[in-house]
Chain A
Amino acid sequence: MTINSTALTAVSPGAGPSVEPVFHRARILRLPRSPQVLVGLVILAVFGVVAIIGRWIAPYSPNATDETHWVQHILVPGTGSDTGFPAQYYPLPLPPSAAHWLGTTVFAQDAWSQLLASTQATLFVGLLAAAIATVLSVLIGVSAGYLGGAADEGLSLVANVFLAIPGLPLLIVIADYVPAAGSSIVLVAAIIAVTTWAYTARTLRAQTLSLRNRDFVEAARVSGEGRSRIILVEVLPNLIPIVAASFLFTTLSAIGAYIVIAFLGLAGSPTSSPPGLWNWGEMLREGFANNAVRSGWWWWWAPPGAFIALLGTGLALLNFGIDEFINPRLRAAGLSRKAARKAGISRRPKFGMTPVVSDRPHPTPLRGASLPTGGQGEPVLEIRGLSVDYGYGDDAVHAVVDCDLTLRRGRVLGLAGESGSGKTTLALAALRLLRAPALITAGQVLFHSKPISEDGPVGTIDLLAADDDEFRAIRWSEIAVVLQSSLNALNPVITIGAQFDDLLRVHRPHLSATERWARSVELFDMVGINAERLRSYPHELSGGMRQRAMIAMAIALEPQVMILDEPTTALDVVTQREIIEELIGLGDRIGFATLFITHDLSLLVELADEIDVMYAGRLMERAPAAALFRAPRLPYTHGLLHCFPPLHGRRIAMEGIPGSPPDLRDLPTGCPFNPRCRWAMPKCRQELPRMAPLDGHAREVACWLHRDGATVPAELALPEPALAGEVGR
């Protein structure tokens, strides 16, 4: 593994999975319309206009000496009364006036005219250098990334060598030996480009490398497209955002470099021969050399400085926008100030404590209500009317709407639905683990606690009303979570043993270090992993082993509730089966209630007691597992059942569900499923169905087909299976 695997910090942080932009086919660069980006664009536009028309609107030539307003100031040495030469004076720089908007320099030249001329040259050199550098880095970076092998080794080495040599000293040495540099825009730009291309090349190489293995590039290769065509048509368009960001970044560095070498007197003075160009660095150099700062002639040195700072800020702001485009995670910065004030919550919600903005008053105080007995089948976690929004106000996305769930001791509750249906959001909201801009807008989460092991709270607690410390004590010790990808769920830079240790240290403070270690070993034994593995880092374990380690961690404190969010989706089928059997065994042994979240209904049928089906943030059907499997009542459930082959039992026709999961921002009126439902009736397009019990059976469904004497299609009217649990375990 090479250390230099990271690129633009925003593009791929070395930690965890790389956050590559998920582009498919080329996408046009659409910048987020934030005020930052707008301000940046306006600044750049103004500079662009000034640079283009500056020459014509300048009142004087930048070199012209204004002798009419000349103020005699310093006697030129060797002239004057005693010397026999006529007295000559250096002019005094004049402060801004109508004749000279920005005053004059010590050479009686118009500062405003110099500034305009300088703006043009500075920007031109910066853009030209950035253009050369960008072409160079695209050529080298993309070829290295795409060709791979020896070409990659060689080109990467060149880039890394250039990156390691400090840029400014190299620039100084080269500019110093090339005396004509200042008089040739192209030469000075080329010299700057040579010292600034390497960083972008490295970024582009990394991106190309990852693009090369994407499906669409692979497909183009297989279909026999030529190499250069693939690079031009498939790869380059996807690199546009990064090239654009790099171009801005390089322009900024190139302008900085030009100003610096001019300030050091290496870019040729406008009065030398051959003459150099007026630029901001040159103005500052003259000012600095003639004590403009100390003498208080601010109109001479401050404007070029302010221009540099302003242009730099403009470019940086725009870069901000592009960074956010490349890495959307930077954008989710929480609620806007206005929204937060309206919602009456802090604009910076605590991490791991999703804010609750329920406008409904909490019902009767719950604390010390009836004591849970801890018996099988007794409710342990009750979610009532839970609603979750992303954002606040009119543009809020309703991710979970009015959901009720009850987990019972020793039972497995399945929660099914397509990805994006809100399953995970619902579960994480109950634990208040959702991150900004998520808000819990309504509901109650009642935890009827009767600890299985050691001390813990006893009685009913409304988790949405619990404070930090109360909640922290319940977390993991009473309610544990296993997430889908165990590689991402374990901290990559510390050993697995250390991750057990910090958990036990917080929740079992009375244990000594040796006792904590012994407990970790015992847990690893329970899930069948060699205790030696506690000393390993997560990346050293296989996927199945990591998920086992996660499960061992989840049962470490003998929780009452276990939330499993697609715990086996990332694993192969054999490992999946082993792990599920292990979970069932542990559940029986410890007696926790399980919430099993998955999109795979056929899997749930085998292990859940009851299944809830979710669609577009709402619960749509609830039934005992066998009943739901044998005789679904909801068209959506029917569809789900016919898109996964069952592991056992009769063969069924695979139909799938037409259309794609709904966009929560733009739900249809009526039943959210109606556009994809083959039995949709006019009513389904007008009115939202609510969950309602279905004729006497232990099931509920939210579907107009089962109401008001509508004709139920035969597929949804299969007879209720006689015995619940027949299909189950």
Chain B
Amino acid sequence: MQAVLRRLGVYLLAAWVALTVSFLLPRVVPGNPVAGAVARASQSGNCNSQCVVAIEEQLGYNVHTSIWDQYLQYVGNLAHGDLGHSWSENAPVSSLILQYLPWTLGLLVIATIIAFVAGTAIGILIAWRRGSWLDWILPGATFFQAIPYFFLALVVVLIFGQTGTMLKWFPSLFGYDIYAVTPGPNLPYIESVVSHAILPAATVILGSMAGFILTMRNNMMTTLDEDFVLVAAAKGLPARSVVWYAARNALLPVVANFTIAISLLVSGQILVEIVFNYPGIGFHLFDALGKLDYSLVQGIFVVITLVVLAANLLADVVYVLIDPRARQVA
């Protein structure tokens, strides 16, 4: 447990660094990029003078209190869940994010689970049956790991998407059919949501599974050389048990290094959302960048960071549960 508390400390610190970076950037960067954004906000019909003042306060433009007071106020606001005001949507950033987040989390959690389970299983199999046709998966996986998500997404849209030119199997724009169904607990809406999630999820899975396959295969190859696996075979245990002996141990580094996987998955998810115009947090980050809506950009960055840190903490708890050696000593 002490190990987990230690990690919790690291994550709290990381959260603080992220908050502070997003506070400082608009204030310290030379050339004052914020001025343009504020000007744009006040010119748009979306944002009245009150709204403009709120944005100025948030980004530290035209404000005459000391930077330290601004910082205290910023942290205080965050503590109350106040992430500022978005001029392009003319709504509190926090309520906008609450609206976007379920799309992202839903897609991300399902895709991660599938990619992790399938990738790990394939990695185990390749290492166990080394020399079989399964080895041909390796160069393929290497290739998929090497191409950026958004390019993969473009190709998936081209081949399978209804906005593409070839098979037109699945919808490839938006989170549901915005013209035909009304959001709510009705069957057509749910069907629409599911069918619209297929291609984005497939892209995230395809892009991230390769990493799990390669890592697990390498760990498994290393673990199969361990004496305790040899002893398992010498004990006359059935092949299934011998694989399990090795796989249980080969899984530990995968979980220990989940931080990196999570980071890649989230990045991938953001890009996939952009290509598919999927109404999650990543797409709106892109949208807000284009509109110079810095408050929204900031808010989304903070929330993504917190979600990622929470996922890391979860991985750490799981690690402690599956490795007795991590449980014991501090």
Does A172 count as interface, using CB distance less than 8 angstroms? yes
Does B122 count as interface, using CB distance less than 8 angstroms? no
Q: Which residues from 237 to 291 on chain B have a C-beta closer than 8 Å to any C-beta of chain A? A: 237-239, 241-242, 245, 248-250, 252-254, 256-257, 259-260, 262-263, 266-267, 270-271, 274-275, 285-286, 289-290
Given A1-B328, A164-B11: A16 in contact with B226 (beta carbons within 8 A) = yes
State whether B235 touches A476 (Cβ < 8 A). yes
Does B81 count as interface, using CB distance less than 8 angstroms? no
- Complex interface: stretch among A262-270, A396-404, A410-418, A621-629: A262-270
Interface residues on B, range: 35 or more
Per-residue CB contact flags for chain A residues 244-277 toward chain B (1 = under 8 Å, else 0) read: 0000000010001001100111100000000000
Q: How far is the CA of A176 from the CA of B301 in the complex (A)?
A: 12
Given A13-B253, A173-B21, A309-B143: A284 in contact with B233 (beta carbons within 8 A) = no
Which B residues touch A252, using CB under 8 A? 146
Which A residues touch B17, using CB under 8 A? 161, 165
- A493 CB contact (under 8 Å) in B242, B248, B267, B289: B248
State whether B145 touches A176 (Cβ < 8 A). no
- Shortest C-beta distance, A421 to chain B (Å), equals 20
Per-residue CB contact flags for chain A residues 411-440 toward chain B (1 = under 8 Å, else 0) read: 000000000000000001001010110000
Does A239 count as interface, using CB distance less than 8 angstroms? no
Per-residue CB contact flags for chain A residues 299-336 toward chain B (1 = under 8 Å, else 0) read: 00100010011011101110010010001011011110
Which A residues touch B231, using CB under 8 A? 481, 483, 489-490
Does B232 count as interface, using CB distance less than 8 angstroms? yes
State whether B31 touches A179 (Cβ < 8 A). yes
A494's closest neighbor in chain B, by CB? B248
Given A3-B3, A313-B142: A348 in contact with B266 (beta carbons within 8 A) = no
Per-residue CB contact flags for chain A residues 168-204 toward chain B (1 = under 8 Å, else 0) read: 1110111011111000000000000000000100000
Does B76 count as interface, using CB distance less than 8 angstroms? no
Which A residues touch B169, using CB under 8 A? none
Does A10 count as interface, using CB distance less than 8 angstroms? yes
State whether B223 touches A15 (Cβ < 8 A). yes
- Shortest C-beta distance, B120 to chain A (Å), equals 13
Q: How far is the CA of A272 from the CA of B27 in the complex (A)?
A: 24
- A4 CB contact (under 8 Å) in B22, B129, B147, B256: B256
Given A259-B148, A352-B242, A433-B230: A14 in contact with B142 (beta carbons within 8 A) = no
Q: How far is the CA of A582 from the CA of B157 in the complex (A)?
A: 70
- Shortest C-beta distance, B294 to chain A (Å), equals 8
User: Which of B231, B233, B250 gathers most chain A CB within 10 Å?
Assistant: B231
Does A539 count as interface, using CB distance less than 8 angstroms? yes
Does B305 count as interface, using CB distance less than 8 angstroms? yes
- Shortest C-beta distance, A237 to chain B (Å), equals 25
State whether A169 touches B222 (Cβ < 8 A). no
B330's closest neighbor in chain A, by CB? A1
Given A173-B298, A433-B233, A493-B249: A351 in contact with B289 (beta carbons within 8 A) = no
- Shortest C-beta distance, B153 to chain A (Å), equals 10
State whether B227 touches A485 (Cβ < 8 A). yes
State whether B142 touches A317 (Cβ < 8 A). yes
Given A177-B29, A293-B158, A317-B142: A15 in contact with B226 (beta carbons within 8 A) = yes
State whether A3 touches B326 (Cβ < 8 A). yes
Which B residues touch A352, using CB under 8 A? 230, 233-234, 239, 242
- Complex interface: stretch among A364-372, A501-509, A694-702: A501-509
Q: How far is the CA of A514 from the CA of B36 in the complex (A)?
A: 76
State whether B132 touches A320 (Cβ < 8 A). no
- Complex interface: stretch among B92-100, B181-189, B196-204, B312-320: B312-320
- Shortest C-beta distance, A11 to chain B (Å), equals 10
Per-residue CB contact flags for chain A residues 358-390 toward chain B (1 = under 8 Å, else 0) read: 000000000000000000000000000000000
Q: How far is the CA of A475 from the CA of B242 in the complex (A)?
A: 14
Q: How far is the CA of A352 from the CA of B233 in the complex (A)?
A: 6
Does B163 count as interface, using CB distance less than 8 angstroms? yes
State whether A483 touches B227 (Cβ < 8 A). yes
- Complex interface: stretch among B48-56, B66-74, B82-90, B213-221: B213-221
Q: How far is the CA of A208 from the CA of B218 in the complex (A)?
A: 23
Q: How far is the CA of A256 from the CA of B267 in the complex (A)?
A: 11
- Shortest C-beta distance, A79 to chain B (Å), equals 27
State whether A161 touches B14 (Cβ < 8 A). yes
State whether A13 touches B150 (Cβ < 8 A). no
State whether B131 touches A489 (Cβ < 8 A). no
Does A588 count as interface, using CB distance less than 8 angstroms? no
Q: Which residues from 300 to 330 on chain B have a C-beta closer than 8 Å to any C-beta of chain A? A: 300-301, 304-305, 308-309, 312, 316, 319-320, 322-326, 328-330
B315's closest neighbor in chain A, by CB? A3
Which A residues touch B312, using CB under 8 A? 164
Q: How far is the CA of A296 from the CA of B138 in the complex (A)?
A: 31
Which B residues touch A474, using CB under 8 A? 236
Q: How far is the CA of A306 from the CA of B112 in the complex (A)?
A: 26
State whether A293 touches B253 (Cβ < 8 A). no
Q: How far is the CA of A305 from the CA of B228 in the complex (A)?
A: 45
Which B residues touch A170, using CB under 8 A? 18, 21, 301, 305
Q: How far is the CA of A490 from the CA of B235 in the complex (A)?
A: 12
Q: How far is the CA of A477 from the CA of B237 in the complex (A)?
A: 11
State whether A348 touches B227 (Cβ < 8 A). no
Q: How far is the CA of A311 from the CA of B143 in the complex (A)?
A: 10
User: Which of A167, A173, A472, A481 gathers most chain B CB within 10 Å?
Assistant: A173
State whether A316 touches B146 (Cβ < 8 A). yes
- B285 CB contact (under 8 Å) in A14, A172, A317, A320: A172
State whether B146 touches A9 (Cβ < 8 A). no
- Shortest C-beta distance, A577 to chain B (Å), equals 24
Q: How far is the CA of A263 from the CA of B282 in the complex (A)?
A: 14
State whether A506 touches B305 (Cβ < 8 A). no
Q: How far is the CA of A480 from the CA of B234 in the complex (A)?
A: 7
Q: Which residues from 456 to 472 on chain A have a C-beta closer than 8 Å to any C-beta of chain B? A: 471-472
- A489 CB contact (under 8 Å) in B22, B228, B271, B330: B228
State whether A476 touches B290 (Cβ < 8 A). no
Q: How far is the CA of A172 from the CA of B227 in the complex (A)?
A: 47
Which A residues touch B7, using CB under 8 A? 2-4
Given A1-B328, A493-B249: A294 in contact with B260 (beta carbons within 8 A) = no
Given A2-B3, A492-B324, A493-B249: A435 in contact with B319 (beta carbons within 8 A) = no
State whether B309 touches A348 (Cβ < 8 A). no
A260-B267, A309-B147 given; name 8 further pairs at CB < 8 Å. Answer: A2-B3, A15-B252, A162-B14, A173-B301, A308-B147, A476-B234, A490-B228, A506-B237
Question: A-contacting residues of B (Cβ < 8 Å)?
Answer: 3, 6-7, 10-11, 13-14, 17-18, 21-22, 25-26, 29, 31, 33, 128-132, 139, 142-143, 145-148, 150-151, 154-155, 157-158, 163-165, 215, 218-219, 221-228, 230-239, 241-242, 245, 248-250, 252-254, 256-257, 259-260, 262-263, 266-267, 270-271, 274-275, 285-286, 289-290, 294, 297-298, 300-301, 304-305, 308-309, 312, 316, 319-320, 322-326, 328-330
30 pairs across A/B with beta carbons < 8 Å? A1-B326, A3-B256, A6-B256, A161-B13, A164-B14, A165-B17, A165-B308, A166-B308, A168-B271, A173-B297, A173-B298, A177-B25, A180-B31, A252-B146, A263-B150, A264-B289, A309-B146, A315-B146, A316-B143, A320-B142, A330-B222, A334-B131, A335-B131, A347-B131, A349-B131, A433-B234, A472-B236, A492-B228, A493-B248, A493-B252
Question: B-contacting residues of A (Cβ < 8 Å)?
Answer: 1-6, 9-10, 12-16, 19, 157, 160-170, 172-174, 176-180, 199, 252, 256, 259-260, 263-266, 284, 288, 293-294, 296, 301, 305, 308-309, 311-313, 315-317, 320, 323, 327, 329-330, 332-335, 340, 346-352, 428, 431, 433, 435-436, 471-477, 480-481, 483, 485, 488-494, 502-503, 506-507, 537, 539-540
* Interface pairs A-B: 3 shortest CB-CB: A312-B146, A352-B233, A475-B236
